[in-house]
Structure 1
Amino acid sequence: MGNPDNYTLQRALDAMCDVPGSDSALQARFSVALQHFHAMLDELKLTDEQLYRIAGWLGKVAAQDELVMLCDMMGLTMRALDLARTDGHATPQNVTGPFPKDQVAEGPNPCYIATEDEPGQRLEVRGRVLDASTGRPIPGATLIVWQPNQFGRYENEDDSQSEDNLRGKLRCDAEGAFDVFTVRPGGYVIGHDDTEVGVLMKRLGRNRQRAPHIHYRVMHPGYRTLTSQIYFKGDPANPVDCIFSAIEDHIVNIVPHPERKGYQLVELEVVVEPEPKR
């Protein structure tokens, strides 16, 4: 990693000292970052002018509140989530997105997050929350769900929707079961054509399409909070999802409902990890 003849890199590494107020863990991580940054400079042969242009561009991205979007479109967010996975039996984490609302009012179980006049394909999502170490249900686990409407719009970015539309919070029953009635969400395009990240994606030949999905979060004392998403098998947008989060672990079967006319059905097992013992 890096050029062994890079004297400046070695000086930057050696400049970190064990003095009052220093953080050895941060120094170790920053050393890795420094080596990668210097390796990038070496490989691209960047001039100081080009380096400062990149820094200025990142400042514009930050001013447009698109740093997270930049991480998402580069695949950094999903890679970080992959690296954080510690239990192969547990449901993997997925991207949180910009629109969670943990403070939404708690409702009953079953939970109806779509009003009767909400347009779209009716959908029931039912399942259980299980313990990754034992496979047993977790009674009373809190489930929060949120999603866009069939046109790909979340309520807090769309004045035509009522407050907390297509959002819900409920507690699992004694068997760890939950039941959510909603409509099938639509996909959407993230960002804007004229922002720094939008222009970058266009110049890279990248689309800004997000595959249709439903977000959910599971919380319970003694367990790690899980934030994840579900995607729908066979949707043509899954392979081109622009933040690479429509992965096989999160793609669910969707079938005609055997009991409710006009509905589709998703059955889901959500597996969460116990907090590590100290």
Structure 2
Amino acid sequence: MSMHGNEAEQALTEQVVARFANTSDARLRTLMQSLVRHLHAFVSEVELTEAEWFAAIRFLTETGQMCDGVVRQEFILLSDTLGVSMLVDAINHRYATGATDTTVFGPFYIEGMPERVYGENMAFTPGVPAIVHGRVLTTEGAPVANALLDVWQTAENGMYSGQDTEQPHGNLRGRYRTDAEGRYAIRTIVPVCYPIPTDGPVGRMLEATGRHPWRPAHLHFMITAPGHSTLVTHLFNRHDPYLDSDAVFGVKPSLQVDYCERAAGDANAQQFGFEGGFREACYDFVLERA
């Protein structure tokens, strides 16, 4: 006697799940079997048409084709805009430790950017001059010496170096180390809000669903130090208009800073080489012990 409708669909799902039963890696077995169940449940719930299934295949194919292996990572962008990146972040940082909040890594990180000295300017394109400084500390409040802060941000045109071939190599990117007292200082320009790339499948998805592509202004950090967990986070401009509607859901209240106006005669002007007015932002990062 043949099965019909839902009964046949459920039998197919269980048959596929069973094919993974002999997976020797227990975690991989859990991931694959759960993926099949949830994916099949989605297809059944929305009663996916063949045309929609093919459109999804084409969408994923084009997403992969947009990735260049260096700067553009469309799959991270897709994960970000669907809130998956921040959900993974939340799951992996469920318990308060006293460390600085994490947020999304983003798709535009480049390894091996120049090492820069305390207070060195990493901005080779115009913008509002700024100094971002503070300390890196343990959860007990002790300074973390020689911590490495890998930093990156967009230029005023809303694009990152590497993404924008007109920008000099290493523009608005750099690796800074803390001194013996855990202090760091980064001379840069005030970050600006910008749209994520919309020239690929993720951009078409946002347009089709009536969503805007804008991210609030921010400075990226990846901070590492021996004996401590790696911290991936942002510092957001506190008064940015897109804080409440970030296209990738990455904003957390604890990661917002003010870029305060400072005059040419300010105490920091001479130390960091500012000839006119500039902005100053201060923030202390706290690392969790590994």
Q: TM-score range by the shorter chain?
A: 0.7 to 0.9
Give 1:257 shift. Answer: 3.1
Give 1:50-65 correspondences, 5 Å limit: 50-65=52-67
**More deviation, 85-94/28-37:** 85-94
When residues 94 and 178 of structure 1 are mapped into structure 2, their CA distance, relative to the original with a 3 A threshold, is: same
Cα deviations by residue, 1:221-248 (Å, 9 ceiling, x for unpaired): 1112112111111111222221111221
- Other structure's SS at 1:112 match: coil
Q: What's 1:122 paired with?
A: 129
* Corresponding residue number in structure 2 for 1:154: 160
Q: 1:33 pairs with 15, 32, 35, which one?
A: 35
Q: 2:103 is matched by which residue type in structure 1?
A: N
* Per-residue deviation, 1:87: 4.7
Partner of 2:93: 85
Who is 1:7 aligned against?
A: 11
Q: Distance in 2 between matches of 1:175 and 1:131?
A: 12
Q: Normalising by the residue count of structure 2, what TM-score does the alignment of the two structures yield?
A: 0.84
What letter is aligned with 1:11? Answer: Q
Change (3 A) 1:263 1:87: farther
* Contact 1:87-1:273 within 8 A present in 2 as well: no
User: Following TM superposition, by how much is the alpha carbon of 1:200 offset from its aligned partner in structure 2, in angstroms?
Assistant: 1.5
User: What SS does the corresponding residue of 2:103 show, helix, strand or coil?
Assistant: coil
TM-score by length of structure 1 reads: 0.87
Q: Aligned to 2:254, what secondary structure does the other structure show?
A: helix
**Cα distance change of structure 1 residues 135 and 211 upon mapping to structure 2, 3 Å threshold:** same
Residue of 222, 243, 246 corresponding to 1:241: 246
Give per-residue Cα distances to partners, 1:33-57, cap 9 Å, x unaligned: 1221122122101245533432232
* Structure 2 partner of 1:70: 78
How many residues get paired? 267
State how far apart, in whole Å, the 1-side matches of 2:56 and 2:111 are: 36
Output aligned runs, 1:249-264, within 5 Å: 249-257=254-262, 259=266, 260=269, 262-264=277-279
Shift of 1:86: 5.0
User: What residue in structure 2 maps to residue 269 of structure 1?
Assistant: 284
The residue type equivalent to 2:158 in the other structure is G
The C-alpha deviation readout for 1:78-110, integer Å capped at 9, x for no partner, is 111111115521112222223323312222112
Q: Which residue of 1 aligns with 2:176?
A: 170
State the 1:211 CA deviation. Answer: 1.5
Aligned equivalents of 1:145, 1:227: Cα separation in 2: 10
Q: Which runs of 4+ in 1 moved over 3 A?
A: 47-50
Instruction: For 2:50 and 2:135, locate their aligned partners in 1 and report how far apart those are by CA, in whole Å.
Output: 55
1:228 correspondence with 2:237 = no
Task: Classify 1:47/1:231 alpha carbon distance in 2 versus 1 (closer, same or farther; 3 Å).
Answer: same
How far does residue 22 in structure 1 lie from its aligned partner after superposition? 2.6
Contact 1:231 1:250 in 2 (8 A): yes
Match of 1:206 in 2: 211
Separation of aligned partners in 1, 2:51 and 2:210? 26
Shift of 1:8: 2.0
